[in-house]
Amino acid sequence: MDHYIHYSNCWEDTQILLKALNIKNDGKYLSILSAGDNTFSILLHKPSSVVGIDLNPTQIALTELKKNCIQKLEYEETIEFLGIKSSQKRILIFNKIKDFLSNESREFFTNNTHLIEKGIIHTGKFEKYFHFFRKYILKLFLNPNKIDNFMNNKQMREEFFYKKVQSPLGKMLFKVFFSNQIMGLLGRNRKFFKYASQNLAKEILNRIEAGLIFVETSNNPYLEYILKGNFVKNLPHYLQETNFYKLKQILNEHPEKLQIHKSTLMEILNNKNNIKFDGFNLSDVFEYMDKQEYTEHLQKIKQISNPKARIVYWNMLVDRNDQIEGIKTLEKLSNELFSNNQSFFYKKLLIQEVI
């Protein structure tokens, strides 16, 4: 098993995903898990089932852990256990739920109790990269005591971006910190850059501008996490109290509605069990494969889809935006939803529909 968690939260905008998928009450959905958050949010829309997959066993372990918190713990305890509120009791809480995990996931956490003690949502490689950014870079440009003002005050954000980040020192530091090399070392697996040709730092600067200036920020959980090092006023969708209790009910009354599998997307697409899906949440997995593999995946997706099934995925650094016969891109809807993207690392949202 991999010895670390890559992502301990999902970094694709949940509200956009939910609108893009247009979830049907009796529909079946396939979802890349990553940290599980957006898969839980899909389940909240009461489809008949969601199959959550990830090729990485640590992401599976993390999703199982969160799922058991939702099923077995009360809200306050979950918030404390996951790391949103401080706690000295996380190991005690873990002991209450560990027997419900699969053997592999339990073994991972019992061998890595420091992750539990820290608060699991702060332990991903990607999250640690943001903590490093906040501690050593952001502080030079933004007073940590003024973050709430910053999130509510556009003029302050404009000054921050156009005067401080765009100053020679700002540009230099942001370029180094968000370079492919540093991000590969500290934040993202280096092999994820295999097909990326662009300069990451330049792209990220454009997207920081969009995320700070062109999109609503006061209620942005992704921005809040990056700036404050935690979710404080803006919790991820699945962790908002009413959603948490709805999920608890769904997962306890109909546990079969969420299936969690360690699997590559291709393995699932090749599975001959005759399930037809109504929608796919695919994160940006097509960036990690060449163009031919990408279109082969789309062909297979078409074969296991009901008419009008939605395929939703993102481009971060690599262009993966082909249309194949039988699948059309919903260009207008994609652009419309993308213009409100609060998780600003991506350059494009693709919403495609099986004809």
Ligand X SMILES: C[S@@+](CC[C@H](N)C(=O)[O-])C[C@H]1O[C@@H](n2cnc3c(N)ncnc32)[C@H](O)[C@@H]1O
Residues near ligand X (CB under 6 A) are 6-7, 11, 32, 34, 53-56, 59, 188, 192, 264-265, 283-285, 288, 316
In the complex with ligand X, the residue whose CB is nearer, 251 or 265, is 265
Least Å distance, CB 95 to ligand X, is 27
Minimum Å gap between C-beta 149 and ligand X is 30
Q: CB of residue 188 vs ligand X: minimum separation in angstroms?
A: 5
Q: How far is the CB of 237 from ligand X (least distance, A)?
A: 17
Of 141 and 195, the one with the shorter C-beta distance to ligand X is 195
Do residues 337 and 16 make contact, with C-beta atoms less than 8 angstroms apart?
yes
Whose Cβ is closer to ligand X: residue 31's or residue 150's? 31
What sign for the dihedral angle of Cα 307, 291, 6, 129? negative
Say which amino acid occupies 286: F
Closest CA to 323 of 302, 346, 348, 338: 302
- Closest by Cα among 213, 100, 92 to 156: 213
Backbone region of residue 308 per phi and psi (left: phi > 0; alpha: psi in -120 to 50; beta: other values): left
- Report the residue number, 56 or 220, with the smaller CB distance to ligand X: 56
* Distance, CA of 101 to CA of 64 (rounded, Å): 6
CA torsion 324→329→331→333, rounded to 10°?
-170
Contact 247, 43 (CB under 8 A): yes
Whole-angstrom Cα Rg for the chain = 20
CB of 328 to ligand X, least distance (A): 23
- Quote the distance between the C-alpha of residue 289 and its chain's center: 19
Nearer to ligand X, 123 or 283 (CB): 283
Residue number, 148 or 203, with CB nearest to ligand X: 203
User: Minimum distance from CB of 11 to ligand X (Å)?
Assistant: 6
Quick one: which of 79, 91, 5, 21 has its CA closest to 352? 21
